[in-house]
Amino acid sequence: MTQTLVIVVLFVAAIAALPWLVRRVQLRHAAGGAPGGASSRVLSAVAVGPQQRVVTVEVGPEGARACLVLGVTAQNITCLHVMGTPAAAQGTAVASFAGAMALAAQAPEKASHV
């Protein structure tokens, strides 16, 4: 009886520790990033319908980042617009995506459309 009780207690402890272990592995994987310094991150996501979103993603290696505006549906992902790094294009540092959009609105002839 004691041996069975010990096995049940160990099983319950393993099941209780599983979410913590999964979270730790996910954090370690996210902190590692992609090889070569290239990584991506979601800057914003706006729902435009029940299964449609407009998502802004920053991608590329640290020296040459680009912002992609993507249309995301249940069936596909479409690139709506590509912007280079605003700091490199304008010679000034932009702290947020809203600042980059304001710069792009001021100089529409410099913006690249896909």
Question: pLDDT tens for residues 38-95?
Answer: 578 888 899 999 999 999 998 887 778 888 999 999 999 999 998 876 554 444 455 6
Q: What are the φ and ψ backbone dihedral angles of 44, each rounded to 5 degrees? A: -160, 160
92 and 79 inside one domain:
yes
25 and 43 inside one domain:
no
pLDDT band, residue 14 (cuts 50/70/90): very high
Angle at 70 between CA 64 and CA 72, to 5 degrees: 145
Domain that holds residue 15: 1-32
pLDDT band, residue 33 (cuts 50/70/90): low
48 and 80 inside one domain:
yes
What lies within 8 Å, CB to CB, of 46 at 6+ separation is 53, 54, 55
What is the biggest distance separating any 2 CA atoms in the chain, rounded to whole angstroms? 80
- The better pLDDT of the pair 5, 104 is held by 5
Q: Among 21-25, 27-31, 39-43, name the one with the lowest average pLDDT.
A: 27-31
Domain total in the chain: 2
pTM as predicted:
0.46
